[in-house]
Amino acid sequence: MREIPLLILGAGPAGLAAAAEAASQGIQALLLDENPAPGGQVHRAVGGFYRPDPGAPGADQAAEGLALIEAASASGVECRYGATLWAIQEDGVVTWSEGGAAQQALASVLLLCPGATERPMPIPGWTLPGVMGVGAAQILMKTAGLLPEGKTWLAGQGPLLWLYAAQLLDKGVTPAGILDLSPPGIPWRALPHLPMALRAPGYLLKGLDWMRRLRRAGVPVIKAREVAALGRDRLTGISIDGKEMEADLLLLHDGVVPNTQVTRALPGCAHVWDSAQMSFRPVLDEWGNTSLNGLLVAGDGGGIGGARAAALSGRIAALEAARWLGRLTPEQRDALAGPLLHRRSAELAPRALLDALYPPLPMARVADDTLVCRCEEITAGRIRAAVALGAQGPNQIKAFLRAGMGPCQGRVCGPAVHALMAEARGVAPGALEPLRTRFPTKPVTVGEIAALADAG
């Protein structure tokens, strides 16, 4: 079996920066990503199809992404795209599928940079074709130049919603309206975090600029409480606090959560409930070490920090990988990482304010007949009923209802099922054990597995 010193999963900002840093420390890394090109979700198709004009919303970020992609490419790191990792064994053997065949390698150090996914936002009718994530629509814009047509509504909260809406305006598309579901009233709870956030004012100024562009263009921003998607086989309308409007596209967003699908499948890899971000994340030290020797996590997969913090975490973790591999002494690592650790703290400064401004939408609002687990089509009411029968958490609900056991393996419904059960039990979400995942973490065909035998 092929032996490699460092395997990096994920070619987003963390993975790309880590690959380049590892190369500069003389480490030949192997970088795997299931997408067809580098960039992750945030820098998707940057340098390829997505080339925003200078000054357009998101253009600065794309320029940073292009620099990361070019640096990784220049470093000579071996990148495999369209390569889906689906198993990690305790002895360091990693299995992935590529071009319809499985492959394996033995990695001395593993650095996982799995990024984030959009937090699920269960509302009535959210399974109708024509309802999707704001992030999904942005991916269509970046990778294929698709722009919404007809009456397009954005509902939810968080920076990405405002960025994408501003990007649409820039492309000449005027949304029908923005349904702001963020908590009502003046967000006093966020105020204590404002001074810290002002240490990196760029983020806040950008956000305010996006909002100003939308207001100036006359896009209605409606403070709403309840939104529902209406239609039979596809979206035809929406209901805003009971008032019906025509709709061709409804885009939902309630922030992002760390993608812990792989780390949760690793026995002994400790996770902790982050009460500020309202999500689980792996327990990490400042270098990105998990509770397992030689297994590191960098980027949003270890806690949401954004693209710049992710790239810095990737470099810091690569230096720690060099220490694991005997390439750097701890003193050499410290000297190289010092400025990076400092810059990362600065990039994370606005995070507490954002977390306090946009707490996830409360599960108490989700009606009993709303689907929560989309794959197995399990409603909030059935989950609440199972809690009343004694189901303690997401791992018991699997046996009761199969929620979290469909093709997505809990990637989408997981956070919603978890929050709903905690709310129904009247306990803090951190008191419930997170949904356990298992390898293969992506569906795999028997034919793909059989290819391993052919490879010997």
Partner 1 sequence: MFRRSGPTDCEITWNGAPIPAREGESLAAALLAAGIAQFRETAVSGSARGPLCLMGACFDCLVEVEGVANRQACLVMVTPGLSARTQQGARETGA
Judge whether 363 and 285 are in contact, CB under 8 Å: no
Give the tokens for residue 13: 């900002």
CB of 233 to partner 1, least distance (A): 4
CB of 308 to partner 1, least distance (A): 20
Cα distances (Å, whole numbers) of residue 225 to 123, 142, 181, 222 = 11, 31, 6, 10
CB of 347 to partner 1, least distance (A): 23
CB of 403 to partner 1, least distance (A): 12
Of 144 and 217, CB closest to partner 1: 144
Residues binding partner 1 (CB under 8 A): 34-36, 41, 49, 82, 117-118, 126-133, 135-136, 139-140, 143-150, 171, 233-235, 248-249, 259, 374-377, 406-408, 411-412, 443, 445
> H/E element holding 5?
strand 2-9
Of 28 and 49, CB closest to partner 1: 49
Give the tokens for residue 229: 């998607």
Of 181 and 337, CB closest to partner 1: 181
What contacts 371, CB < 8 A, 6 or more positions away?
A: 122, 126, 127, 377, 378, 379, 380
Of 212 and 234, CB closest to partner 1: 234
Instruction: State which amino acid sits at residue 342.
Output: H
Of 140 and 335, CB closest to partner 1: 140
Of 371 and 424, CB closest to partner 1: 371
Cα distances (Å, whole numbers) of residue 144 to 50, 55, 118, 137 = 8, 21, 20, 10
Of 83 and 309, CB closest to partner 1: 83
Q: Nearest Cα to 434, choosing from 423, 421, 453, 452?
A: 421
For residue 44, report the phi and psi dihedrals to the nearest 5 degrees.
-60, 130
CB of 140 to partner 1, least distance (A): 6
Distance (Å, rounded) from C-alpha 8 to C-alpha 31?
5
CB of 245 to partner 1, least distance (A): 16
Task: Please say whether the dihedral angle defined by the alpha carbons of residues 156, 159, 160 and 161, taken in this order, is positive or negative.
Answer: positive
Q: Nearest Cα to 79, choosing from 8, 142, 3?
A: 8
Distance (Å, rounded) from C-alpha 90 to C-alpha 409?
21
CB of 427 to partner 1, least distance (A): 27
Of 100 and 202, CB closest to partner 1: 100
CB of 442 to partner 1, least distance (A): 8
